[in-house]
Structure 1
Amino acid sequence: MDVAADVVIVGAGIVGAACARALARAGSRVTVLDRGAAASATSAHGEGNLLVSDKGPGPELELAQVSLGRWAHLADELADELGPRFPSIEHEAKGGLVVVTSADGLDGLRGFADAQRAAGVEAVEVSAERARGLEADLAPGVVGAVYYPQDAQVQPVAAAEALLASARRAGAVVRTGVEVTGPLLGADGRLTGVATSQGDVPAGDVVVAAGPWSAQVAERLGSWIPVRPRRGMVLVTTPMGQRIRHKVYDGDYFAATQSAGAELQTSAVIESTRGGTVLIGSSREQVGFDDRFSAEVLAQMARRAVAVFPFLARTNVMRSYLGFRPYMPDHLPAIGPDPALTGLWFATGHEGAGVGLAPATGDLLAAAMLGLAPAVDPGAYAVDRPGLRNHRPADVSDVQVTGVTPASDTSGGARGEARI
C-alpha cells in the first residue's frame, strides 16, 4: 500500500493543529482530517484561557507550565512566520485574579496557593484593598484574593488557524468535510490509515485529536478511550469601555473543574476581550451532546458574575454560546500510543484546558512518535495509566480490534467497517 502520509490526525481543533505543526516541522508528512470546518467545534466555543491558576501541583500543572512558556514564544514565532496579513492570535499576558468572599474561602485559597508556589507557580496573595487596586469594580464583599501574573489568553480560533497555517507551510495537508468511518488494517492487524467519507487515507500512524468526539472516533477505529462530553455555556455582553483588566473568577472555579459529578457546576469566570465585550462563564455538566440552552444555567452564571462585579447587573447580554469539553475521569489528557492497536495514538481529553495545553501536547506527542526527548514525563498521560483502567469496559478486548468487520482490499490488508 502506498502511504500518503506518515501521520493522519483526526481533528482540526487547536490540539490537532498543535500536533500537526510539531510533527510537520519535524519532517513528518502530515494529513489533518475534520468532518467540519477547522477550529469550528470545541476550540470555537471556549475563552482561549492559558492558565496555571486553576491547576494544583501534579502532571496537568507541569504540562501547563511548559505550555505557557511555549505560547509566549509562539505568539512571536507565528506572527513572524505568517506575516501581518494573518490575523493576530491576540496573545495577552493579562494575569488572573481569584477572589473570595469569606474567611474560610480565603484560608482555602491560601493553602492552595502555597502548594502551587512550591510547584513553581507565581501566586501572590493580595488584600481586599490591593485586589480593588487591580480591579476597581469588585464587589464590597470580596475579602481577599490571589493574583497570578502568569495567566494569559489567546483568541482560540485565530490561534488554531495560525497553527494550521504554520503546519501547512511545513508541508501538512488539511482536509475538512471529511469524516472518518473506519480503520484500514494491515495483514498483521496494525492500523495503516483510515477509511473516510471521501475515500481511504493510508498512513503510517493515526492520531485521534477529536476532543469530546474522540471516543466515537476511537470506537470506529476499533479502540476505546473514556472521553465524555461536558457541556459548558458562556454569556457575552455588549461592547463597553474596558472595566475588567484581568481574568477574574471566584474561589469555586477550581472545585468545579475538578468535580467528577455529572450534575451542574457553576462558578464566576469573567474577562474582557479586545473587542470590548465581557465573557461570563462558567458552567459544567454531563448531559451527553445535548446542545439545548438552559435559561437556569445562564441565570446562575449571571448571578455569580454579578456577585463579583455588581456593575454587570446593568449590562446587556447580546448573545450566549455553548460547547462541549472533552472530559476524562481522572482530569488528565491522554497523550500517547494506544496500548492494544499498533499505529493508533491519542491527543485528547484536555477538558477546558485544551487551548492552554495544546503546544506542550503537540511537542510531547511528536517526541513520543519520533523518539525524541520529552519535555515532561509522558507516563502520567499514558492511555493505559492506572487512573483509566477501572473505566475500561469489560467487553473491550486488549488484543484485537472489536466492533469491526474486515473487508479485503487490493493491498493485501483489510478495511475495517465499524458497525456503529
Structure 2
Amino acid sequence: MGRIESADVVVVGAGIIGAACAEALSAAGLRVLVLDRGAPAAATTASGEGNVLVSDKGPGPELDLAVASRRRWPDLIDSLREELGDELARVEWEPKGGLMVATEPEAVGPLAALTRAQRAAGIEAVDLDAAAARDMEPHLTERVEAAAHYPEDAQLQPVLAAMALLAAVRARGGEVRGGVEAHGVVYDPGGAVCGVRVDGDAIPCGAVVNACGPWAGHLSVAAGAPVEVLPRRGMVLVTAPLPPVVRRKVYAADYVAAVASGAVDLQVSPVVESTATGTVLIGSSRRRVGFDDALEVEVLQRLARSAIALFPVLSGVPVMRAYGGFRPYTPDHLPVIGEDPRTPGLWHATGHEGAGIGLAPATGRLLADLMCGREPELDAMPFRVDRPAVIVGSAVER
C-alpha cells in the first residue's frame, strides 16, 4: 500500500458513527481521513433498521443525546442537500412516529409510568387506549390493552445516510479509504498520538478517533488504552413488499426493558415497521455471542412468532431475507464519547449498541466540540472514557 497523506484527524471506522464524527470534524475545518477495513457503512450500519428514536429511552444522558440528534437530523439532511445535491443527500427520511403497545394487563402500568417520566423530560408521548391505537394501526392485534404514540420517532436508510455524511467529508477535502485496516496507534516520545499504523506504513496525524463499533474494544487494546466495548448480536427479518400494512414503527412495551438488559442470553421483543419500498422489517433480538455470525433459526422463529402476535395479518407473508449484525455494547448502556485521558490524542466514539443511527449527529457534534475546544451543547461527563463501567486498566507502556 502506498503512503497515505497526513491528516489532522484519522477516524477509524466508516459506519454511521464514524461518518458523523468525520462530517462534524470536517465542518469544523479539520482535514479528516476516514479508514475502514471493509467497505464504508458495510458492517453494523448495514445491519440496522435506521431508527431515530426518542421513545425507547427513559430520562437520562442517552435520552438527552437522542433528543439532540433527533433535532439535528433534519437540519443536517437539509445542509447536506444544499452542499451535495439531492441525489447524494438522499437518505429516505421518514418522520412517521412510533407506537409502543402493551398487550398484557400487567404492562399497562409500567408503560404509563414510562410516558409520564418521558413527558417530564420534554418528550411528546401521547397515552392511547386500545381503540385509539387500532385507529392509528388498523391491523394491530385485538389484544392491545393500551399504547403510547411518539410523534417524534423517525426512520431513515442508514447506509444512504452514512454515505451522504462521507460524501460531505470528501467534498471538503477529506478522504475515505475502504479496505485499510488500522492495527494500532503511533505515539511521540511524550506519549501523545502522532499517527495510526496500517499495513506496512504509518499515517501521520494529530488525533485518532476510535469509531470501530463492536470492534472498538480491539482497537483500544491495540492502542494500549483498552475500553470495555463488546459485540451484541441482533437479527432482522425482511418480508416481501406488501400493500400498506404498518404505518409507523410499532413495538411491544417490553422492548425498552430488552434494550436496557445486560443479559447474555437471548432477548426478543417484537418490533415491526414498514419501509419506503413496501417491505416490513421485523426485529428485535439481542444476544451476546461474541463475534459468532452463524444464522440462528431459533431467533428467526421467535421473531416471526412475536411479529404475528402483534400484527396477525403478517401470518403467511413471505420472508424475503434475514440478516444479522453486531452492535457495540457497554456494561452501563451508555456510549463512550471523548478523549482518552491515558493517551492524549486518542478519542473514542462507540458503544451506542442498536441506537447508533439515532444518536449519530449529536455524537459527532459533541466529539467535534470537545476536540475543537468549543462549549458543547450537552454534558459530556456521562459519556467520558474513564468511567468505571468501561475503562479497563491503564495504558500500556510504550
Q: TM-score range by the shorter chain?
A: over 0.9
**What is the match of residue 13 of structure 2?**
11
**What is the match of residue 112 of structure 2?**
110
**What is the match of residue 66 of structure 1?**
68
Alignment partners' CA distance in 2, 1:326 and 1:366: 21
Deviation at 1:343, TM superposition (A): 1.2
1:24 is aligned, of 26, 30, 35, to: 26
1:307 is aligned, of 302, 309, 313, to: 309
What secondary structure does 1:388 align onto? coil
User: Match of 1:79, as an amino acid?
Assistant: R
What secondary structure does 2:46 align onto? helix
Q: Is the 8 A contact 1:33 1:174 kept in 2?
A: yes
Match status 1:401 vs 2:396: yes
**What is the match of residue 151 of structure 1?**
153
What secondary structure does 1:200 align onto? strand
**1:80-95 mapped onto 2 (5 Å cutoff):** 80-86=82-88, 88-95=90-97
Q: Is the 8 A contact 1:328 1:349 kept in 2?
A: yes
Deviation at 1:25, TM superposition (A): 1.0
Task: Provide the aligned C-alpha RMSD in A.
Answer: 1.3
**What is the match of residue 164 of structure 1?**
166
**1:128-147 mapped onto 2 (5 Å cutoff):** 128-147=130-149
Offset from partner CA, 1:266-303 (integer Å, 9 cap, x none): 00000000011000000000000000011111111111
Q: Is the 8 A contact 2:34 2:176 kept in 1?
A: yes
Comparing 209-218 with 67-76, greater Cα deviation is found at 67-76
Q: Is the 8 A contact 2:49 2:281 kept in 1?
A: yes
Taking a change above 3 Å as real, the CA distance of residues 5 and 87 of structure 1, as seen in their structure-2 partners, is closer
Structure 1 unaligned blocks of 5 or more:
407-420
**What is the match of residue 224 of structure 1?**
226
What secondary structure does 2:315 align onto? helix
**1:335-346 mapped onto 2 (5 Å cutoff):** 335-346=337-348
Offset from partner CA, 1:221-254 (integer Å, 9 cap, x none): 1110100000000000000111100100001100
What secondary structure does 2:360 align onto? helix
Q: Is the 8 A contact 2:228 2:389 kept in 1?
A: no
Alignment partners' CA distance in 1, 2:326 and 2:319: 21
Deviation at 1:187, TM superposition (A): 1.2
Alignment partners' CA distance in 1, 2:85 and 2:193: 38
Alignment partners' CA distance in 1, 2:91 and 2:5: 34
1:364 is aligned, of 363, 366, 371, to: 366
Deviation at 1:168, TM superposition (A): 1.2
User: Match of 1:262, as an amino acid?
Assistant: V
What secondary structure does 2:196 align onto? strand
Alignment partners' CA distance in 2, 1:215 and 1:70: 28
Offset from partner CA, 1:90-119 (integer Å, 9 cap, x none): 111010000011222011100011000000
Query: Scaled by the length of structure 2, what TM-score is found?
Result: 0.97
Structure 2 unaligned blocks of 5 or more:
none
**What is the match of residue 289 of structure 2?**
287
Taking a change above 3 Å as real, the CA distance of residues 3 and 90 of structure 1, as seen in their structure-2 partners, is closer
**What is the match of residue 329 of structure 1?**
331
**What is the match of residue 125 of structure 1?**
127
**What is the match of residue 409 of structure 1?**
none
Q: Is the 8 A contact 2:48 2:158 kept in 1?
A: yes
**What is the match of residue 377 of structure 1?**
379
Q: Is the 8 A contact 1:178 1:198 kept in 2?
A: no
Alignment partners' CA distance in 1, 2:277 and 2:140: 22
% same residue: 54
Q: Is the 8 A contact 2:88 2:167 kept in 1?
A: no
Alignment partners' CA distance in 1, 2:340 and 2:389: 15
Alignment partners' CA distance in 2, 1:76 and 1:243: 30
Deviation at 1:388, TM superposition (A): 3.1
